Structure 1
Amino acid sequence: MTGSIQNPTQLSVQPQIPVNSTTLRANADMVHMDSDHRSAKIAHAFDWRACFSVWRKLWLYLAQSQQQMGVALITDNAIEQMKNNLDITDSDLQWALRRGSAEPLETIMNQTFLFGRAAGRCTAGRINYAVPAEFVTRNCHAMLVREALDIFIPRLPEVMNRLREFAVSNKSRRAVFHPCRQFTQISTFGRRAADWVLDLGRDLIVLEKIRDDILLCGTRGTKAEMTHLTRVLGGDVRSCEQLDITLCQYAGFKGCYDAEKISTERYERDLALAIGGALANLALGISRTLTEMAIFKTEQKYLGSTSTITDLICRTNNDALRIAADWTRWSSAGLAIGPVVLQKMFTDADTIIRRFESLIVEIDTSSIKPLVDEALPGIITRKITQRMVQAGRPRDLVIWYLSKFACQTLLEHDNIASPGAFFDMIRRTEYFKPVWWRIDYWSRSELDIRGCEKTVDEVCARGGSLDKLLEEYKASVEKVQSYKMPDEVKEELVESSSSGSDADDEDSFATTIRWTVQGEDAPATSDYQSDSGKTKS
């Protein structure tokens, strides 16, 4: 972490189109380089080092806010020294960990001492000044969760870019797919990839919404503590409310929840449930995509290993289902969802994302058997059944006729399936007259993919609907990563100070969500439309 309080992850969301499969495979090394760096960060997003660094950030934001409110004790030199010592050193961390499981208040006092020793004498008495001792513990969780989301969220647009490149380069290559909750379809790799990327886009929007709606607890405390803070600020209760507004502006939050109506434990519990549910839903969405990919019949090896692409798809799918199953077990068992569980959810979800992205980069569609000819008779038979039912024929009787024709065909051809003879029997039967002329029409498999290329271009090509989503995301990332320093926002904060507490008029997001009681952490243990049409959002 740096003194400018910036998110280290930078993202470029401009797709390189057109591309081919050779280009995708050539980018494999770039995938692993950035993924390993980001995964190392997400793996330590909730450890003690991250926690203590967040405490120092909160003390810095508090000092900046108090200085803005006119507290003379907070000097520019003290704030500058705080900025330069936000990262906790290895020696300070080990000294703190050697203390063992100290009481929360003792831990806060130890960290106050270490921060003051690192920042120098000018910060003495200015750290956690005039606010409750539990100020950092009440606000720490929201900061940790937001920083974890800032690391994790940019992973999704990167995968979406890989998928859109894959879709554009394979928009005409036919194959048989089994979309979720639908019958077998003849489609193209590009058309299915367009649906997969839109599924990830919905998950991205949900995670962004959670991230943007996270609230701080603020500086609220007991009546005696608030009386002391009011005296220091030289005002009334409105000055304390304005301090919270200024604190949120420096920290980059939209506001504070009402700590008098909602307990910190309750808010933290509901925030954890919202994030865990979103990550579990993301894992389920990736599992649905991998289930479609699991029918790929390919002997292609993965990165020169003995495992095939198909083997890795199945293993990744099992891991994605395990993430969703673990979350269901934890949330339904009434266990407290704390940092240990969230850390595991983020780490596992990041692992699944990395594997999925690597699969998209590595897979070679030319090695996959289309299986169109094998699947076409079954698809035509299903269409015959649907059309006959629409014409008023009883479904049971239609199925009986089709079963009878299938058995007769097998007997006549020594138990060898003969689709041509099967459909000839249908053509000679008066009962199936409503579909006679349609059988030859349905036998032209190219008609099933006539709208696929157009849909891929509308969604994934440059200027398509996906560009708008990624542009909005790029703007939000820049907003998240550009924490303004006080000198740049001094006039803005002064103007907001004169407006009183009007900024709190909007309904708090905390009133619409729910969070959990502190306790031991749990043990670590889309609807699609036909491919010839447009995707439902």
Structure 2
Amino acid sequence: MFSIDAPPELQNTEFCNYRSPLSTRYASKEMQYNFSDQKKFSTWRKMWIYLAKAEKELGLDITHDQIAELESAVHDIDFASAAEHEKRVRHDVMAHVHTLAERCPCAAPIIHLGATSCYVGDNTDLIVLRDGLDLLLPRLAAVISRLSKFADEYKSLPILGFTHLQPAQLTTVGKRASLWLSDLLMDERALSRARNDLRFRGVKGTTGTQASFMQLFKGDGEKVKALDKRVAELAGFDKRYIVTGQTYSRKVDLEVVAAISGLGATVHKMCSDIRILASRKELEEPFEASQIGSSAMPYKRNPMRSERCCALARHLITLYANAANTHAVQWMERTLDDSANRRLTLAEAFLAADATLLTLLNICQGLVVYPKVIARYIAQELPFMATENIIMAMVQAGGDRQICHEKIRVLSHEAGAVVKQEGKDNDLIDRVKSDKYFAPIINQLDKILDASTFIGRAPEQVVEFLDEEVVPILQKYKDSLVLVEKPVSLMI
């Protein structure tokens, strides 16, 4: 039988309980607070205040003193008392109703009047989702801002392009970064859409019909409609879900998690590229002066930030299926098998996304490029890429295209054998220079082999993309970027 082998004086400390790495190592204080008990239950209390205020405005017998008493207790939560009540009644909302009633005896009779548990639970979740997206979007914009500066700085630096992870035509460092940026812009669009599409559940009752509120207002449907609208306004929402079951549709959660999961896919792709480039020593993420890459191999500079992003991003990607399956099994007006799952899925989606963006921002703030290493790799491959240009130059100098093609073919295979079988550098150009057939173009070879002539419109594409696509997005966040874009330090 398993037993706790820690000394008794340690067994009740936090270090003998499971603690999520999202809270102890990765996510920001702001996002942790957004999913904290304090935020959750103080928002429940605000929801009861909004309901009481709106009911009073519409004629119910609720006093100013009762509302004032509730307002004085928003953050003054006796968590121990709530836990004792929940142990007894086995219902979290009623436990907090009793706890608040003990703190506010004058207001006790009107707390939760006409409402069902999902009034506080679901509406609070929607507020938390909204606030969570309001935290994520500026962080994403900061990443886009930093990466756009990087793309612009290196828009003209040639680098080997890859298809099938095999060397292909040249691109530029900045152009490759623009591909990462393009995906991030789609994520900004998806997250913004999810944020802007959020509505409020409002006051809908146990199956969404508002029957309890119709009874409170003696069948006056217009007052019930006005109550629904007014509570949403007090909570900061200008739109409501007109029809719901007991809960707002879990399709809403799915749309939000889908956007976050999509961000995970983007980050995984980008950071995988960075890890591959780091293995080739063409590009590196930040590496601090005292940072240790390996406990056994002191020389190593492991891309641990990019690896962390990939690890967290994989978790984000998997959460999509969880949200989809939760929505799929919400029978009729609702079932409760969503509750425990959503406590995990929604919080982890936002906390992991927050941690991922913080880490990615740190990477983008300190990316290091090694042009000489890049040039060496280009020198190994460019002679093969230049063969068509050599043939064209020879034809323009009066040569026969077919004869030239055959000579280049033979010399290329000979040079390729030297590279693959002997492990030596590519000597194709030396072979071309030694063949008298190519004498007419020898003085053109340096120009033919200029890497900048192999990158097409990559620099212009980067400029156009930044001007037309990135700048308008960054304008949306100009006021928040100053705060969010400051240097980020991370726990390694």
TM-score, L = length of structure 2 = 0.69
Counterpart-to-counterpart distance in 2, 1:243 and 1:73: 15
Residue 249 (structure 2) aligned to one of 228, 244, 267: 267
Counterpart-to-counterpart distance in 2, 1:475 and 1:411: 58
8 Å Cα contact 1:171/1:190 also seen in 2:
yes
Change (3 A) 1:148 1:188: same
Counterpart-to-counterpart distance in 1, 2:138 and 2:364: 17
Change (3 A) 1:418 1:306: same
Residue 347 (structure 1) aligned with residue 351 (structure 2) = yes
Q: CA deviation at 1:242?
A: 2.1
Q: Which runs of 5 or more residues in structure 1 are unaligned?
A: 1-34, 389-398, 430-435, 478-537
Counterpart-to-counterpart distance in 1, 2:31 and 2:389: 50
User: Greater CA radius of gyration, 1 or 2?
Assistant: 2
* Aligned pairs for 1:208-227 within 5 A: 208-221=192-205, 226=210
Residue 374 (structure 1) aligned with residue 377 (structure 2) = yes
Change (3 A) 1:267 1:426: farther
* Aligned pairs for 1:169-318 within 5 A: 169-178=153-162, 184=168, 186-221=170-205, 226=210, 229-230=213-214, 232-233=216-217, 236-259=220-243, 262-264=244-246, 267-268=249-250, 270-294=251-275, 295-296=277-278, 297=281, 301-307=287-293, 310-318=302-310
Q: Which residue of 2 aligns with 1:86?
A: 74
Change (3 A) 1:179 1:218: farther
Q: CA deviation at 1:138?
A: 4.0
* Aligned pairs for 1:410-449 within 5 A: 415=422, 416=424, 417-420=426-429, 443-449=449-455
8 Å Cα contact 1:142/1:214 also seen in 2:
yes
Counterpart-to-counterpart distance in 2, 1:128 and 1:412: 81
Summarize deviations over 1:263-297 as a string: whole Å, max 9, x none. 345712x2232222222211111122122322131
Amino acid at match of 1:327: L
| Partner secondary structure for residue 28 of structure 2 | helix
Residue 161 (structure 1) aligned to one of 131, 137, 145: 145
Residue 141 (structure 1) aligned with residue 125 (structure 2) = yes
Q: CA deviation at 1:156?
A: 0.8
* Aligned pairs for 1:62-77 within 5 A: 62-68=51-57, 70-77=58-65
Counterpart-to-counterpart distance in 2, 1:448 and 1:141: 53
Change (3 A) 1:139 1:372: same
Amino acid at match of 1:74: I
8 Å Cα contact 1:132/1:225 also seen in 2:
no
Counterpart-to-counterpart distance in 1, 2:197 and 2:433: 63
Counterpart-to-counterpart distance in 1, 2:385 and 2:147: 31
Q: CA deviation at 1:317?
A: 5.0
* Aligned pairs for 1:115-154 within 5 A: 115-118=100-103, 120-132=104-116, 134-154=118-138
Change (3 A) 1:234 1:420: same
Amino acid at match of 2:413: C
| Partner secondary structure for residue 153 of structure 1 | helix
Q: Which residue of 2 aligns with 1:362?
A: 366
Change (3 A) 1:169 1:254: same
Percent of aligned pairs sharing the same letter: 19
8 Å Cα contact 1:160/1:197 also seen in 2:
yes
Counterpart-to-counterpart distance in 2, 1:282 and 1:195: 14
Q: Which runs of 5 or more residues in structure 2 are unaligned?
A: 1-23, 294-299, 330-337, 392-404, 482-492
Counterpart-to-counterpart distance in 1, 2:253 and 2:435: 59
Change (3 A) 1:361 1:252: same
Q: CA deviation at 1:87?
A: 2.1
Amino acid at match of 1:97: A
| Partner secondary structure for residue 249 of structure 2 | helix
Q: Which residue of 1 aligns with 2:95?
A: 110
Q: CA deviation at 1:227?
A: 5.1
Amino acid at match of 2:273: E
8 Å Cα contact 1:194/1:456 also seen in 2:
yes
8 Å Cα contact 2:208/2:246 also seen in 1:
no
Q: CA deviation at 1:425?
A: 11
* Range 136-145 or range 275-284, more displaced: 136-145
Counterpart-to-counterpart distance in 1, 2:271 and 2:346: 24
Q: CA deviation at 1:46?
A: 3.4
Q: CA deviation at 1:441?
A: 6.5
Residue 56 (structure 1) aligned to one of 25, 42, 45: 45
| Partner secondary structure for residue 365 of structure 2 | helix
Q: CA deviation at 1:364?
A: 2.9
* Range 316-325 or range 403-412, more displaced: 403-412
Change (3 A) 1:172 1:409: closer
8 Å Cα contact 1:176/1:370 also seen in 2:
no
Q: CA deviation at 1:340?
A: 0.7
Change (3 A) 1:189 1:203: same
Counterpart-to-counterpart distance in 2, 1:302 and 1:180: 33
Counterpart-to-counterpart distance in 1, 2:41 and 2:427: 71
Q: CA deviation at 1:342?
A: 2.1
| Partner secondary structure for residue 204 of structure 2 | coil
8 Å Cα contact 2:316/2:353 also seen in 1:
no
Residue 470 (structure 1) aligned to one of 449, 474, 478: 474
| Partner secondary structure for residue 362 of structure 1 | coil
In the comparison of the two structures, how many residue pairs are matched? 418
Amino acid at match of 1:359: I
8 Å Cα contact 2:160/2:171 also seen in 1:
yes
Counterpart-to-counterpart distance in 1, 2:346 and 2:406: 54
Change (3 A) 1:271 1:101: farther
Summarize deviations over 1:134-193 as a string: whole Å, max 9, x none. 422343332332232223332111222222333344445444454899964544443333
| Partner secondary structure for residue 167 of structure 1 | helix
Counterpart-to-counterpart distance in 1, 2:427 and 2:319: 48
Counterpart-to-counterpart distance in 1, 2:191 and 2:452: 39
Change (3 A) 1:205 1:224: closer
Q: CA deviation at 1:333?
A: 7.0
8 Å Cα contact 1:174/1:188 also seen in 2:
yes
8 Å Cα contact 1:301/1:309 also seen in 2:
yes
Residue 315 (structure 2) aligned to one of 303, 319, 323: 323
| Partner secondary structure for residue 240 of structure 2 | coil
Q: CA deviation at 1:239?
A: 2.2
Q: CA deviation at 1:319?
A: 0.9
8 Å Cα contact 1:283/1:321 also seen in 2:
yes
8 Å Cα contact 1:302/1:309 also seen in 2:
no
